[in-house]
Amino acid sequence: MLYSNIDRPGMLASVSTILAKDNINIADLSLGRYSIGKRALTVVSVDNPVSESILREIASIQGVSSVKVAVL
């Protein structure tokens, strides 16, 4: 799963709380930002499939956009 967000405290915590609530474990995570307080990109590897409803819930977090799943 990957998503773009505004670079501010609590964004990753909000996403990980949603995943934890649905018993989805984060296996790996990579995060980078364009500059302080601007846009960030997060790539999350998870142990279980992420449903459309979870993606919608993550996308509803203020400041999060472009939530997508990539299966490799």
As a whole number of angstroms, the distance between CA 7 and CA 36 comes to 7
Residue 71: predicted pLDDT: 85
Q: Does position 72 have pLDDT exceeding 90, yes or no?
A: no
Domain ranges in the chain?
2-68
As a whole number of angstroms, the distance between CA 30 and CA 49 comes to 18
Q: Please name the fold of domain 2-68.
A: Alpha-Beta Plaits (3.30.70)
The distance from CA 50 to its chain's CA centroid, rounded to whole angstroms, is 11
What is the pTM (predicted TM-score) of this model? 0.89
Q: Does position 10 have pLDDT exceeding 90, yes or no?
A: yes
Q: List pLDDT tens digits, range 29-48.
A: 999 999 898 999 999 999 99
